[in-house]
């Protein structure tokens, strides 16, 4: 639109997509750390991006978090067939931040369906392995692995480890490895190297290469380092939806 041209946002989007060799970048104005309505704008852009990428039949894998919750708020009914699934099993989040909750809310907003994946976290190895053999569990996992669209958040490593009440050992691992960011349960540093991975089922990093579209949605200047590091290893099918505070940081250097 005219506004995007006048403010030069469209040029910044193109420059960033080229710089990080990803499919597309969408920038909303402001800083979502300081202005709550900016997160709602990220949600709105992400919801329309999901709609643009829909085929006749879809499996959409989603992660958790408050940004994804803002995306759910903006979705509207659609006649195309869509199944929402959580991207990965338990990551230690509170129920309102969990991918299962987001998947159910998105399905409700789009008049579509969803499946949940409850992974037991504090159980013996034997219990875990027999759980994994359950046909119903195996079915959800295989649905997750065939998702054509993946929508995910990105977070600051320390913030996420704290939010998940990670053990002192894991906190140390994250600190010693200089982790700056987190996505899908993977904690990574600026290089980027994976310094810690939450052990759970569902989408693994390699699986992202099979999705038609991967939509990363994250904003707020406090996440700039995390987002920059993530983009260095993001699959080329990625669309980044972020805010101007992050975009300006990413364009530097
Ligand atoms: O735990 C799910 C998750 O998507 C993380 O992978 C990500 O770091 C975080 O949530 C983002 O949360 P928020 O949108 O609340 O910052």
For the ranges 66-80, 102-116, 198-212, 230-244, which has the lowest average pLDDT? Answer: 198-212
pLDDT higher at 92 or 23: 23
Q: Given this model, what pLDDT does residue 125 score?
A: 85
Q: Given this model, what pLDDT does residue 131 score?
A: 87
Q: Six-digit token pair at 58?
A: 């879809």
Helix (H) or strand (E) segment spanning residue 206? none
Q: Residue 66: CB within 6 Å of ligand 1?
A: yes
| Neighbour count for residue 224 (Cβ, 10 Å) | 23
Question: Is it the case that residue 123 has pLDDT exceeding 90?
Answer: no
Helix (H) or strand (E) segment spanning residue 251? helix 244-251
Q: Six-digit token pair at 151?
A: 């929508």
Nearest atom in ligand 1 to 63's CA: 4
Task: Supply the pTM of this predicted model.
Answer: 0.96
Q: What is the Å distance from ligand 1's center to 6 Cα?
A: 32
The winner for highest mean pLDDT among 6-15, 98-107, 121-130 is 98-107
| Neighbour count for residue 155 (Cβ, 10 Å) | 25
What is the residue with the minimal CA distance to atom 10 of ligand 1? 65
- Please state, in angstroms and as integers, the Cα–Cα distance from residue 233 to each residue in 27, 69, 170, 209, following that order: 20, 25, 22, 11
d(CA 181, CA 242): 15
CA angle 168, 174, 32 (to 5 degrees): 110
- The answer to whether the beta carbons of residues 195 and 177 sit under 8 Å apart is yes
Q: Hey, which of 181, 182, 240 would you mutate to test ligand 1's pocket, going by the most ligand atoms within 8 Å of its Cβ?
A: 182
Q: What is the Å distance from ligand 1's center to 68 Cα?
A: 8
């Amino acid at each position: 639109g005219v506004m995007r041209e006048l403010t030069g946002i469209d040029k910044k989007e193109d420059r960033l997509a080229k710089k990080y060799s990803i499919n597309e970048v969408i920038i909303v104005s402001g800083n979502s750390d300081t202005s709550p309505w900016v997160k709602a704008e990220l949600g709105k852009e992400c919801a329309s991006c999901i709609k643009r990428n829909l085929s006749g039949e879809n499996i959409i894998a989603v992660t958790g978090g408050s940004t994804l919750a803002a995306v759910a708020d903006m979705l509207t009914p659609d006649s195309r067939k869509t199944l929402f699934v959580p991207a990965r099993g338990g990551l230690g989040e509170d129920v309102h931040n969990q991918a299962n909750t987001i998947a159910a809310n998105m399905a409700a907003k789009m008049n579509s369906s969803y499946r949940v994946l409850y992974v037991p976290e504090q159980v013996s190895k034997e219990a875990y392995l027999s759980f994994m053999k359950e046909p119903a569990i195996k079915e959800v996992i295989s649905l997750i692995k065939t998702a054509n669209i993946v929508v995910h958040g990105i977070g600051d490593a320390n913030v996420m480890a704290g939010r998940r009440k990670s053990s002192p050992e894991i906190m140390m691992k994250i600190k010693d490895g200089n982790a700056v960011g987190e996505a899908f349960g993977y904690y990574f540093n600026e290089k980027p190297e994976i310094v810690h991975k939450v052990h759970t089922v569902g989408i693994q990093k390699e699986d992202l290469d099979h999705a038609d579209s991967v939509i990363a949605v994250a904003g707020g200047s406090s996440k700039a380092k995390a987002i920059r590091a993530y983009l260095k290893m993001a699959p080329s099918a990625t669309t980044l939806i972020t805010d101007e505070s992050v975009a300006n940081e990413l364009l530097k250097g």
